[in-house]
């Protein structure tokens, strides 16, 4: 992968691996298909605007970084989603105890003139304006479709401008048309970080270098080395909130590990310590493979990847990380005692939700793991929809095909397919990717979010919170019932009788 790291523009997921957004079958077939390379060609005759683009995730990730400014390099509409993303990242900052300040962002507002004559001058002016007006630590230039079609050399501008501004300057390259899978944004964001933002502590700023002349400094260096050997980078997800980070940090702290949550909600000072960890803990197979490879290649940091969702998975997660540090027995004891506490607390909730039929929809890896959690809670899983798929998820779906071989798996983020399946499957409740709750709710189905950054899903406390959410939602049925009875569907009545995959191209 090394040549990708050196290239000025990051690769899309399609360039690196098999990807899909249109599949239905069993998890076993999905993995087979991924391995034999038959996923990519799949297409539809009808598409809806449900999958956003690389830019949308890139701006979510960038806007979490403290003391930064975002410059949307494109026409005026690109990035206006920031109007609502900023209140939610502000909420995230506040939940993590970080100060909430006005978040500044600008659009280069490309118009006909720049489309014809080039946008370099305007971008330079905007960078300099942002630097002197807001004095940020980092400026993210988000390069959208238009400058990419025009062929502007954004990286050259970044290199030139870095000489005249005091902020650290970087560019997130995310032309939406180049990738069908928004997960390309994770790579684009991390590529922008390691390419232009400092990843290593600075001597005399972050530490005093050890010297033979100062005996104490050698002792301090040893002490630091001991600490570093117990540092864990906990890789953030857009779908995990402060309560999740707190729960996982709590568990790792109980093993005497130091946890740095990276890179969302970090700042330039924290990012310099990205390289100072003994282990990178990633919570999602599809999220971090690019940055994990980079950190392994460049700094030799190994990684541990697993989603701690559900009791069994959380225990395995904790014990797996413990094993890396030679603390397997301790981790096992901790996991057992946490499990005992949880099981007791869960009893009354499980009574209320057991046997309910649930449809799981959302991120592929997330959905597969959530299936185990829901099974542990005694629910019956009627189907599983993952929005996007790539090769990274193969091991997850391998495991799923062992554990739940009968389960039908769909890869789709298309509302028209979704409403059709929901009506046919008629579940008691639907687990829905955040932002997509309205469609099934209006159809009259109980819903709870598949993730919600305001509450806990991961770890032991997460299991309890999910059970609580399910019990609450299943007990507030009239809200959804009234909605369903008064909903006007935009889809023709006949659509609900047809095969939901009628618009897949053969």
Minimum distance between the CB of residue 53 and another protein, rounded to whole angstroms? 2
Binding mask 29-68 for another protein (x = CB under 8 A): ----------------xxxxxxxxxxxx------------
- Helix axis angle, 459-474 to 242-253, nearest 10°: 140
Minimum distance between the CB of residue 109 and another protein, rounded to whole angstroms? 5
CA atoms of 306 and 314, how far apart (whole Å):
9
Please choose, out of 284-292, 328-336, 430-438, 470-478, the segment that lies near another protein by the rule CB under 8 A. 430-438
Please choose, out of 75-83, 187-195, 197-205, 463-471, the segment that lies near another protein by the rule CB under 8 A. 75-83
C-beta of 108 vs 239, nearer to another protein? 108
Minimum distance between the CB of residue 111 and another protein, rounded to whole angstroms? 5
C-beta of 2 vs 177, nearer to another protein? 177
C-beta of 151 vs 209, nearer to another protein? 151
Contact 143, 191 (CB under 8 A): no
Positions in 84-113 near another protein (CB under 8 A): 84-85, 87, 102, 104-113
CA atoms of 278 and 63, how far apart (whole Å):
27
158: tokens are 């970044």
Is 416 an interacting residue with respect to another protein (CB under 8 A)?
yes
DSSP 270-314: HHTTTTS-SEEEES-TTTSHHHHHHHHHHH---EEE----SHHHH
Q: Which ranges in 433-458 belong to alpha helices (H)?
A: 438-442
Which one of 9, 18, 64, 75 is in contact with another protein (CB under 8 A)?
Answer: 75
C-beta of 6 vs 83, nearer to another protein? 83
- CA neighbor of 108 nearest in space, from 118, 130, 123, 120: 123
Which one of 20, 126, 167, 240 is in contact with another protein (CB under 8 A)?
Answer: 126
CA atoms of 282 and 304, how far apart (whole Å):
6
Q: How many residues bind another protein (CB under 8 A)?
A: 64
Which one of 28, 81, 98, 448 is in contact with another protein (CB under 8 A)?
Answer: 81
Contacts for 491 with CB less than 8 Å, ≥ 6 apart? 416, 419, 420
Positions in 485-504 near another protein (CB under 8 A): 488-492, 495, 503
Helix (H, G, I), strand (E, B) or coil at 80: coil
Binding mask 288-327 for another protein (x = CB under 8 A): ----------------------------------------
C-beta of 273 vs 436, nearer to another protein? 436
Please give the span between the terminal C-alpha atoms of the chain, in angstroms, as a whole number.
33
Is 348 an interacting residue with respect to another protein (CB under 8 A)?
no
In angstroms, the Cα distances linking 91 to 84, 86, 235, 363 are: 11, 8, 19, 22
Work out the number of other CB atoms within 10 angstroms of the CB of residue 280: 22
C-beta of 77 vs 215, nearer to another protein? 77
Q: What is the DSSP letter of 76?
A: T
C-beta of 344 vs 492, nearer to another protein? 492
Burial class from Cβ neighbours inside 10 Å (0-12, 13-18, 19+) for residue 183 reads buried
C-beta of 31 vs 388, nearer to another protein? 388
Contact 330, 322 (CB under 8 A): yes
Task: Tell me, rounded to whole angstroms, the distance of Cα 155 from its chain centroid.
Answer: 26
Is 82 an interacting residue with respect to another protein (CB under 8 A)?
yes
CA-based angle 317:319:321, to the nearest 5? 70
Please choose, out of 246-254, 310-318, 433-441, 467-475, the segment that lies near another protein by the rule CB under 8 A. 433-441
CA atoms of 294 and 299, how far apart (whole Å):
8
C-beta of 26 vs 51, nearer to another protein? 51
Burial class from Cβ neighbours inside 10 Å (0-12, 13-18, 19+) for residue 167 reads buried
Which one of 16, 30, 89, 114 is in contact with another protein (CB under 8 A)?
Answer: 114
C-beta of 3 vs 49, nearer to another protein? 49
Q: Looking at beta carbons, which pairs linking 215-218 to residues 24 or more positions away fall under 8 Å? A: none
Positions in 168-197 near another protein (CB under 8 A): 176-178, 180
Binding mask 275-294 for another protein (x = CB under 8 A): --------------------
Binding mask 143-162 for another protein (x = CB under 8 A): --xx--x-------------
C-beta of 83 vs 506, nearer to another protein? 83
215-239: burial string, b at 16+ Cβ within 10 Å, e else: eeeeeebeeeeeeeebbbbbbbbbb
Residues in the chain: 506
Minimum distance between the CB of residue 98 and another protein, rounded to whole angstroms? 17
Q: Looking at beta carbons, which pairs linking 433-439 to residues 24 or more positions away fall under 8 Å? A: 433/361, 433/362, 433/363, 433/387, 434/239, 436/50, 436/361, 439/415
C-beta of 326 vs 490, nearer to another protein? 490
Please choose, out of 124-132, 201-209, 210-218, 368-376, the segment that lies near another protein by the rule CB under 8 A. 124-132
Contact 170, 8 (CB under 8 A): no
Contacts with another protein by CB under 8 A lie at: 45-56, 71, 74-78, 80-85, 87, 102, 104-115, 122, 125-126, 129, 133-134, 145-146, 149, 176-178, 180, 415-416, 435-436, 438-439, 488-492, 495, 503
């Amino acid at each position: 992968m090394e040549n990708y790291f050196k290239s000025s523009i990051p690769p899309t997921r399609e360039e690196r691996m098999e990807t899909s957004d249109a599949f239905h079958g069993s998890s076993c077939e999905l993995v087979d298909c991924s391995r034999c390379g038959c996923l990519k060609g799949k297409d539809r005759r009808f598409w809806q605007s449900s999958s956003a683009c690389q830019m949308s995730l890139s701006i979510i990730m960038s806007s979490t970084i403290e003391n930064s400014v975002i410059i949307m390099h494109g026409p005026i509409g690109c990035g206006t989603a920031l109007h609502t993303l900023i209140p939610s990242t502000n909420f995230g900052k506040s939940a993590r105890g970080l100060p909430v300040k006005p978040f500044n962002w600008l659009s280069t507002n490309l118009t006909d003139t720049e489309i014809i004559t080039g946008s370099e001058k305007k971008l330079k002016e905007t960078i300099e304006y942002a630097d002197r007006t807001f004095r940020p630590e980092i400026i993210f230039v988000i390069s959208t479709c238009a400058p990419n079609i025009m062929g502007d050399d954004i990286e050259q501008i970044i290199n030139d401008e870095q000489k005249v501004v005091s902020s650290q300057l970087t560019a997130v390259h995310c032309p939406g048309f180049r990738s069908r899978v928004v997960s390309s944004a994770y790579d684009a964001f991390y590529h922008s970080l390691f390419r232009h933002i400092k990843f290593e502590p600075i001597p005399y700023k972050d530490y005093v270098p050890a010297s033979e002349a100062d005996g104490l400094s050698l002792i301090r260096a040893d002490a630091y080395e001991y600490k570093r050997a117990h540092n864990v980078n906990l890789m953030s997800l857009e779908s995990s909130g402060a309560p999740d980070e707190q729960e996982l940090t709590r568990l790792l702290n109980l093993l005497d590990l130091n946890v740095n949550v990276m890179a969302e909600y970090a700042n330039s000072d924290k990012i310099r310590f990205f390289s100072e960890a003994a282990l990178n803990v990633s919570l999602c197979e599809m999220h971090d493979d690019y940055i994990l490879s980079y950190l392994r290649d460049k700094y030799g940091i190994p990684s541990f990847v697993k989603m701690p969702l559900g009791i069994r998975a959380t225990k395995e997660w904790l014990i797996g990380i413990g094993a890396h540090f030679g603390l397997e027995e301790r981790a096992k004891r901790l996991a057992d005692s946490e499990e005992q506490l949880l099981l007791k607390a869960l009893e009354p909730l499980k009574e209320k939700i057991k046997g309910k039929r649930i449809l799981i929809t959302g991120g592929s890896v997330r959905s597969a793991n959530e299936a185990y959690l829901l099974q542990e809670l005694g629910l019956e899983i009627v189907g599983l929809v993952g929005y996007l798929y790539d090769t990274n998820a193969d091991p997850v779906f391998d495991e799923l095909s062992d554990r739940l071989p009968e389960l039908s798996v769909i890869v789709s983020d298309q509302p028209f397919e979704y409403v059709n399946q929901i009506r046919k499957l008629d579940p008691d409740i639907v687990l829905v990717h955040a932002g997509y709750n309205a469609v099934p709710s209006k159809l009259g189905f109980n819903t709870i979010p598949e993730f919600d950054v305001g509450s806990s899903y991961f770890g032991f406390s997460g299991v309890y919170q999910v059970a609580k959410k399910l019990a609450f939602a299943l007990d507030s049925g009239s809200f959804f019932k009234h909605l369903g009875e008064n909903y006007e569907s935009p889809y023709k009545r006949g659509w609900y009788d047809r095969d939901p995959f009628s618009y897949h191209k053969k």
